[in-house]
Amino acid sequence: MEKLSGRIAVSEQARRTLVAHVGGDAVLIPNGVRVSEFASGDPLEGFDPSRPSIMFLGRVDEPRKGFDVLMAAMPTILDAVPDIQVVVVGPGDIDDLRDSLDPSVTSHVTFLGRVSDEVKVSALRAVDVYVAPHRGGESFGIVLIEAMAAGTAVVASDLPAFRQVLEEGLSGALFENGNAEALALQVIALLADDAIRASYEQEGWRRVQEFDWDVVVDDVIAVYESVAVGGEKVTEDLRGQIVGRLGNWSN
């Protein structure tokens, strides 16, 4: 990698890791999504839109995804929101997991397993709040972007990458990493107050426009063109120019 003329990092954390282990520098350009693909979706089968709802997306038996944190938060959430629906999307040993949960919690959880992109979009659009209780190991947070593109309010662990995506809590609610009680309180607050939830939805929609592929691809092309034309390594000046177009993404 030392011989590369251009390098792209999807987050400031990823860039710092690259610089620390390889040296040189990299242009910071986040991952992108096709925002328009999340603008509509078929109704989610078996879902009751009249009940409050949250969603988890990820491998349920992968500790760093934090599904156990969400389940630990459920008793507190159920006390305040007894009719809540929890939609869980992602691979893992669902049968063993279901057997390990308290029946009072399991009765509120719908495990969809691995689904198509179309069903994922439908689920994201159907629920009131998307929850990302990840414990760590995230360099970006594409799932937050997808949820915001679907018009859904986000509650996420206060990880550096998530904090960047959510603008320090402006475009989504943050809670202390691994703190189930803090997660529960954020979920309860958003489900109880339509105005707060709507504010996060609106701020999330504004924020996600910066990650649309139509925007991101121009920055990627600029890096390739700078290398192809100049034949020089990516410089701090070029990195700064592109970061400037992405607002506070590098903060």
Contact indicator for 129, 57 with CB cutoff of 8 Å: no
* Distance, CA of 71 to CA of 156 (rounded, Å): 15
Q: Determine if the pTM surpasses 0.85.
A: no
The whole-number pLDDT of residue 215 equals 81
- In this structure, of 11-15, 71-75, 93-97, the range with the lowest mean pLDDT score is 11-15
pLDDT at residue 95 is higher than 50: yes
**Segment 204-241, tens digit of pLDDT:** 999 999 999 888 677 666 666 666 665 555 444 544 54
Among 3.40.50.12780, 3.90.1150.200, 3.40.50.2000, 1.10.357.10, what is the CATH number of 36-210?
Answer: 3.40.50.2000
Domains of the chain, residue spans: 1-30, 36-210
The percentage of the chain sitting over the pLDDT mark of 90, rounded to a whole number, equals: 59
pLDDT at residue 143 is higher than 80: yes
